[in-house]
Homo-oligomer: A and B are copies of this chain.
Amino acid sequence: MSKQKENPIDIDYTQRLKAAQILHQKFLEIIDQIKAGENPTLVLPKRTLSNTIFDVERGLLLLGPEKIKRRFLDVHEAKKFMQTMLMAKIIYEALINNEYPTIRDLYYRGKHTIVYYDLDGKKREENTWDEQKESDAVIRDIEVYTGLLREDMLILSKEKGKLVGKIILKSGNDIIDASKMGHGAYALEPTPDLIEIKDIDAEYVLVVEKDAVFQQLHRYRFWEKHRALLITSAGQPDRATRRFVRRLNEEWGLPVYILTDADPYGWYIYSVFKIGSITLSYESERLATPKAKFLGVSMTDVFGLKEGGKWIKKPYLSDSDRRNYVINAKPADIKRAKELLKYKWFQTEKWRREISIFLKERKKLEIEAIASKGIKFLADVYIPTKIQTQDWIE
């Protein structure tokens, strides 16, 4: 046992065994069908928009109950069936050969031309796949078929998420203290479920869309002064960052606040953290954080809120700030905002108000405009006030 602990890849090794066994078991079912003389058939959840449902209770985008059958002996499905078998074989081999492929690798590993002769003896050629989107779709099918996310199969990807704050992690065989990163940060790994979270001394998680704002807040030691874990997704969040944020919320009960630009792109980033994305709804179950809160920058932070001519909430920007900082919305922003209004999870009272102010004013604002009023204002006034007064949107 002690020897195994010294092995630098033991957590990966355990994971490999687990994933390989599940793959093996799942595909044995196909062999059983063949042995029984049946038409080999894969039954898997249908990954389409029509079968994507918003579970209001859980606050998650999920795959619905519809299934598809993929049969080998069907001229329309044989290729897809074989693609699935080929990809499953490649992933299985990577698992048992201690490989760490990416989805791009897997595309290349499977890409070849099959030469065969048809019933008339004519030579024919067929590519396994031409574009990566074909092989990616097959990987998704394998994920939903086996219930294993790609990360569970040690498929790696680029990873942008960074972390600082009082949190102790075990990753691989190392213990990492994310409060001891100097002016740099801890770059998250692409397999966040293999991280062991050992201890946290923080009251909440602040996720900042923009890396440059993260750098400023970090340098100001925001996380220390305000007892926060500070994370950046560096734009649209990747899977690992989303999963890690979810784990902080679910396993450690930490509130999660998202800070983005005040525009439809920022709102969408928030909704990917909170609800999941439509194309990858099968992952929401593990990647989304339904309790995540949109801290700002909100339209009412920019314009304030009046009722009956009286301020209910004063804006954080003065008239002259606003004149200098707001940016005119582009037609694409307006279009996006109208689309977002159609989604159920943007149909709460506060979101309707937020989007309607945007559509009325046709203005947006970047976080940097708040930061330009001074890092002290951003770190010691804006963010803490928003949290203390619960001035967020859910």
Where the two chains meet, the residues of A that have a C-beta atom closer than 8 Å to any C-beta of B are 8-9, 12, 97-102, 104-109, 111-113, 156-160, 162, 169-176, 180-191, 194-195, 210-213, 215-216, 219-221, 234, 320, 323-325, 366, 368-369, 371-372, 374-375
Give min CB distance, A369 to chain B, whole Å. Answer: 5
Contact indicator A188/B184 (Cβ below 8 Å): yes
By a CB distance below 8 angstroms, the chain B residues around A323 are: 113
Contact indicator A191/B187 (Cβ below 8 Å): no
By a CB distance below 8 angstroms, the chain B residues around A170 are: 182
By a CB distance below 8 angstroms, the chain B residues around A234 are: 158, 160
By a CB distance below 8 angstroms, the chain B residues around A175 are: 180
14 contacts between A and B (CB under 8 A): A9-B221, A97-B374, A100-B216, A101-B375, A102-B212, A102-B371, A104-B212, A107-B368, A158-B212, A160-B234, A171-B184, A174-B182, A176-B184, A186-B186
State A185–B174 Cα separation when bound (angstroms): 11
Contact indicator A182/B171 (Cβ below 8 Å): yes
State A316–B102 Cα separation when bound (angstroms): 20
Chain B CB within 10 Å, residue with most, of A105, A112, A113, A183: A183
State A283–B170 Cα separation when bound (angstroms): 39
Contact indicator A372/B105 (Cβ below 8 Å): yes
Contact indicator B212/A187 (Cβ below 8 Å): no
Number of copies: 2
State A100–B113 Cα separation when bound (angstroms): 55
State A234–B159 Cα separation when bound (angstroms): 9
State A1–B69 Cα separation when bound (angstroms): 74
By a CB distance below 8 angstroms, the chain B residues around A171 are: 181-184
Give min CB distance, A131 to chain B, whole Å. Answer: 11
If A160-B211, A186-B187 are given as contacts, then 10 extra A-B residue pairs at C-beta distance below 8 Å, sorted by A number, are A12-B219, A111-B324, A113-B323, A156-B212, A156-B215, A158-B212, A159-B211, A169-B182, A174-B182, A184-B189
By a CB distance below 8 angstroms, the chain B residues around A195 are: 182-183
By a CB distance below 8 angstroms, the chain B residues around A174 are: 180-182
State A368–B157 Cα separation when bound (angstroms): 12
Contact indicator B169/A324 (Cβ below 8 Å): no
* CB-nearest residue of chain B to A216: B100
Q: Which of B99, B104, B221, B375 contacts A375 (CB 8 A)?
A: B99
By a CB distance below 8 angstroms, the chain B residues around A8 are: 221
